[in-house]
């Protein structure tokens, strides 16, 4: 199966690679022969486990800290001289009721879900330019396509990622770097675990998804692999909806 695409000698960085969609990306990328690095923050045990399982290398990285990102960029550049694939997957999702929630909640999420992406890409893009090309994939969300009440800060960042994908596609495309986004809806990940424990809520949620199922992380990771593959070599600035058609209906 891994011979479908030629990824020999290719290097990838996946943020948030110890859990959920990121973890599946690490597993799938390494199975296709991609030399894979990933970042994690709090989940050291899970990161060490995925390292042993796949041979990928993890780096602890706190995306809420600009200084930590600076240090990571320096460390990563000592590790490799090139980067072919950059997958911006790490992010958080929490509650924000406008006018009632402490604004620090807003600022923290914006830093992690948006500012860190610009800062990290800005610091690593030279590694992709050395290759003469590459691929960036941003993990957006249905919330960025249609909004989400009580999570406006989250929705704003995911809308921004769509804007980044289109802007970087135009800016970096002539330099051989393609940029695209994927927009999942609900996914069976640790981030969704608590919400999906409520069977009544889960049942109602499934009824809003035309395919009538909540996807597993690999259902998002394989489309990400497709976007970095030679099969997608003329796809640039696109938003791939991987949400079972949920984005077509009201939230």
Q: Which residue in 37, 40, 150, 154 is the catalytic one? A: 154
Please give the chain's pLDDT, 251 residues, in tens. Answer: 445 677 989 999 999 999 999 999 999 999 999 999 999 999 999 999 999 999 999 999 999 999 999 999 999 999 999 999 999 999 999 999 999 999 999 999 999 999 999 999 999 999 999 999 999 999 999 999 989 999 999 999 999 999 999 999 999 999 999 999 999 988 887 777 777 777 888 888 888 888 898 889 999 999 999 999 999 999 999 999 998 888 886 54
Calpha distance 156→105 (Å, rounded):
14
Residue 154 annotated in active site: yes
Residue 178 corresponds to which tokens in the numbers above?
């393609």
d(CA 112, CA 51): 24
Sign of CA dihedral 216, 148, 138, 70: negative
Q: What is the pLDDT of residue 6?
A: 78
Dig out the tokens for 138 from the structure. 């941003």
CA distance 89 to 46: 16
Phi, psi (degrees; rounded to nearest 5) at 116: -65, -30
Max alpha carbon distance in the chain (Å)?
54
Cβ proximity of 114 and 158 under 8 Å: no
Instruction: Kindly give, in sequence order, each residue whose CB lies less than 8 Å from that of residue 175, ignoring residues fewer than 6 positions away.
Output: 129, 133
Instruction: Please list, in sequence order, all residues whose beta carbon lies within 8 angstroms of the beta carbon of residue 247, skipping any fewer than 6 positions away.
Output: 142, 145, 146, 183, 185, 241
Question: How many residues would you count in the chain?
Answer: 251
Residue 237 CA to residue 82 CA, distance in Å, equals 23
pTM above 0.75, yes or no: yes
What is each CA distance from 122 to 5, 51, 142, 201, in whole angstroms? 28, 27, 26, 40
Ramachandran area for residue 22 (φ above 0: left; ψ -120 to 50: alpha; else beta) = alpha
The Cα–Cα gap between 107 and 41 comes to 18
DSSP string covering 160-189: HHHHHHHHHHHHHGGGTEEEEEEEE-S-SS
> Is the C-alpha dihedral spanning 8, 238, 66, 90 positive or negative?
negative
pLDDT of residue 250: 57
DSSP string, 203-215: HHHHHTSTT-SPP
């Amino acid at each position: 199966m891994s011979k479908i695409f030629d990824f020999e000698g290719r290097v990838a960085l996946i943020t948030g690679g110890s859990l959920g969609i990121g973890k599946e990306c690490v597993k799938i990328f390494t199975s296709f022969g991609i030399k894979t690095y990933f970042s994690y923050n709090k989940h050291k045990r899970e990161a060490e486990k995925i390292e042993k399982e796949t041979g990928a290398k993890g780096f602890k990285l706190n995306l809420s800290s600009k200084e930590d990102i600076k240090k990571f960029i320096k460390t990563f550049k000592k590790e490799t001289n090139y980067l072919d694939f950059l997958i911006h997957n790490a992010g958080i999702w929490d509650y924000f009721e406008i006018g009632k929630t402490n604004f620090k909640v807003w600022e923290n999420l914006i830093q992690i879900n948006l500012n860190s992406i610009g800062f990290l890409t800005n610091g690593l893009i030279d590694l992709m330019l050395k290759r003469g090309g590459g691929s960036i994939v941003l993990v957006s969300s249905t919330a960025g396509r249609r909004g989400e009440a009580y999570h406006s800060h989250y929705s704003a960042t995911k809308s921004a990622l769509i804007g980044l994908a289109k802007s970087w596609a135009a800016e970096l495309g002539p330099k051989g770097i393609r940029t695209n986004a994927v927009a999942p809806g609900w996914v069976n990940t640790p981030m969704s675990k608590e919400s999906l424990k409520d069977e009544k809520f889960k049942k109602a949620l499934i009824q809003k998804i035309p395919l009538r199922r909540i996807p597993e992380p690999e259902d998002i990771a394989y489309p990400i692999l497709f976007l970095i593959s030679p099969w997608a070599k003329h796809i640039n600035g696109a938003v791939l909806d991987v949400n079972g058609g949920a984005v077509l209906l009201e939230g």
